[in-house]
């Protein structure tokens, strides 16, 4: 045998998100490396989950982080109802995509935006019953958060095309009814803050996504539901929940 160095199992390619300009022209693809998520980043959602929201920036402590596997990304909007739950819930969120590796060490918040490639709107889908059971026992959230098809996202819009989204609105409709809406100006930690905090814990790299946290109004999704997530007039994700694959 000439060198036993070959891959012995198939290599799964990185999931890819289409990148489009403001006229929806396809510019290329964004290969996903990691998915970081922020919990409790809107005060109204923190309160609806039974947590106390910080009264001021000085009292905000440190953000709650968790992760999803990269291949949880869904780009066509179609989500099979996941196994192991009877309470799949939506969380509409701004998604930040990194186009550059962070330098070694802690990233200064003032430099953080230079890493940002673009934005998407997405859903942090949650098996709320499993998350609640884990929380009650002080156990990790992984089975509640990091499952197959748990990260539907829109196309990515390059940051230069998006302009200033500091006070853009994110919203979610289900079957035509508005379920969630929030102003990105109300984020407890903004994008630069979050990248700064993440860099204390992880080496941020090109291909990373960050789900920035959801406003109030999280609620169940059921097979047959149609959802529409929007970031102002810039981005829209349409999708639906289909019966579990058997
Ligand atoms: Mn979330």
CA distance 18 to 153: 10
Top pLDDT among 4 and 208 is at 208
Residue 110 Cα to ligand 1 midpoint, Å, equals: 25
Question: Ligand 1 centre from 72 Cα, in Å?
Answer: 14
Query: How confident is the model at residue 109, as a pLDDT?
Result: 94
Å from CA of 8 to ligand 1 middle: 36
In the reported structure, the alpha carbon of residue 183 is separated from the centroid of ligand 1 by a whole-number distance in angstroms of: 15
What pLDDT is stored for residue 197 in this prediction?
97
Query: Distance, CA 122 to ligand 1 centroid (Å)?
Result: 10
Tell me how far the alpha carbon of residue 125 lies from the centroid of ligand 1, in angstroms. 8
115 Cα to the center of ligand 1, angstroms: 22
pLDDT at 58 over 80: no
In this predicted structure, the answer to whether residue 44 has a pLDDT above a threshold of 80 is yes
Mark the residues whose beta carbon lies below 5 A from ion ligand 1: 91, 124, 214
d(CA 30, CA 99): 9
Beta-bridge partner residues of 18: 29
Give distance in angstroms: CA of 19 to centre of ligand 1.
Answer: 23
Reported confidence tier of residue 1, pLDDT bands at 50, 70, 90: low
Tens of pLDDT, residues 82-129: 999 999 999 999 999 999 999 999 999 999 999 999 999 999 999 999
* Residue 42: predicted pLDDT: 93
Domains of the chain: 16-242 (3.90.850.10)
Q: Which residues contact 205 (CB under 8 A, 6 or more apart)?
A: 33, 34, 98, 101, 102
pLDDT digits (tens, 9 = 90+) for 148-169: 999 999 999 999 999 999 999 9
Q: For 136-147, what is the mean pLDDT?
A: 97
Residue 7 CA, ligand 1 centroid: distance in Å: 36
User: What are φ and ψ of residue 34, in 5° steps?
Assistant: -135, 160
Q: What is the pLDDT of residues 178-209, one digit of tens each?
A: 999 999 999 999 999 999 999 999 999 999 99
How far, in Å, is the centroid of ligand 1 from the Cα of 114? 24
Residue 59 has what pLDDT? 83
Q: Write the DSSP symbol of residue 54.
A: P
pLDDT of residue 241: 98
Mean pLDDT of the chain: 95
Query: Is residue 31 scored above 60 in pLDDT?
Result: yes
Segments of the chain assigned E as strands: 16-20, 26-31, 35-39, 64-68, 73-74, 78-80, 88-89, 92-98, 116-123, 126-127, 151-152, 157-158, 169-174, 177-183, 209-211, 226-231, 235-242
Quote the ligand 1 centre to 9 CA distance (angstroms).
33
Q: How far is the CA of 213 from the centre of ligand 1 (A)?
A: 4
Å from CA of 84 to ligand 1 middle:
19
User: What pTM value is reported for the model?
Assistant: 0.96
Give the model's pLDDT for residue 32.
Answer: 98
Q: Please name the helix (run of DSSP H) or strand (run of DSSP E) that holds residue 134, with its range, or none.
A: helix 128-137
Mean pLDDT across 49-69: 87
> pLDDT exceeding 70 applies to what percent of the chain?
98
């Amino acid at each position: 045998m000439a060198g036993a160095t070959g891959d012995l199992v198939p290599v799964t390619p990185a999931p890819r998100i289409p990148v489009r300009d403001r006229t929806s022209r396809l510019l290329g693809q964004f290969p996903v490396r990691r998915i970081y998520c922020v919990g409790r980043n809107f005060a109204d959602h923190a309160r609806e989950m039974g947590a106390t929201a910080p009264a001021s920036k000085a009292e905000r402590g440190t953000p709650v982080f968790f992760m999803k596997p990269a291949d949880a990304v869904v780009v066509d909007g179609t989500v099979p109802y996941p196994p192991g739950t009877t309470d799949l819930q939506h969380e509409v969120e701004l998604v930040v995509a990194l186009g550059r590796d962070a330098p070694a060490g802690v990233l200064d918040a003032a430099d953080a935006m230079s890493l940002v490639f673009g934005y998407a709107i997405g859903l942090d889908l949650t098996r709320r019953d499993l998350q609640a059971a884990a929380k009650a026992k002080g156990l990790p959230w992984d089975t509640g958060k990091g499952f197959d098809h748990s990260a539907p996202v829109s196309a990515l819009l390059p940051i230069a095309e998006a302009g200033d989204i500091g006070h853009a609105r994110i919203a979610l409709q289900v079957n035509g009814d508005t379920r969630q809406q929030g102003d990105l100006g109300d984020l407890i930690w903004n994008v630069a803050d979050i990248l700064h905090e993440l860099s204390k814990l992880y080496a941020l790299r090109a291909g990373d996504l960050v789900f920035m946290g959801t406003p109030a109004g999280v609620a169940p999704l059921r097979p047959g539901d149609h959802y529409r997530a929007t970031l102002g007039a810039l981005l829209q994700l349409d999708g639906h929940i289909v019966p579990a694959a058997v």
